[in-house]
Amino acid sequence: MNIEKLAPKLKPWMQVDTWHTSHPKDSERFHLALNSAFSELGSSISYDDFKEAMEYLSEELSSAKLEAEYLTQAIEGYASRAETIS
């Protein structure tokens, strides 16, 4: 999987400071981002691909300010959810 193609699909969700919360709007953005990724890249995207793309994005977005352990857990949790949905 080309992470440079997946990351821009996830960016509209992750660029919002609260992407890692359980707020309904964040959840909605997460699902819209997944829909966009699946529409362009297919629905067979692995956990590792999601995780790599999210880590790539987290370096340039405000989420880099989050505590490292919390950020890792959030990324792993959402990568797992994304893979399950795919």
Q: Phi, psi at residue 51, to the nearest 5°?
A: -60, -45
Q: What is the pLDDT of residue 22?
A: 86
Q: What is the pLDDT of residue 64?
A: 64
Asked if residue 17 lies in contact with residue 41, where contact means CB atoms within 8 angstroms, the answer is no
From the centroid of its chain, how far is CA 31? Answer: 10
pLDDT tens-digit map of 24-82: 999 999 999 999 999 999 989 999 999 999 999 998 887 767 899 999 999 999 999 99
Asked if residue 30 lies in contact with residue 19, where contact means CB atoms within 8 angstroms, the answer is yes
Over residues 3-31, mean pLDDT: 94
Rg over CA atoms, the chain: 11
Asked if residue 76 lies in contact with residue 45, where contact means CB atoms within 8 angstroms, the answer is no
| CB atoms inside a 10 Å sphere around CB 75 | 22
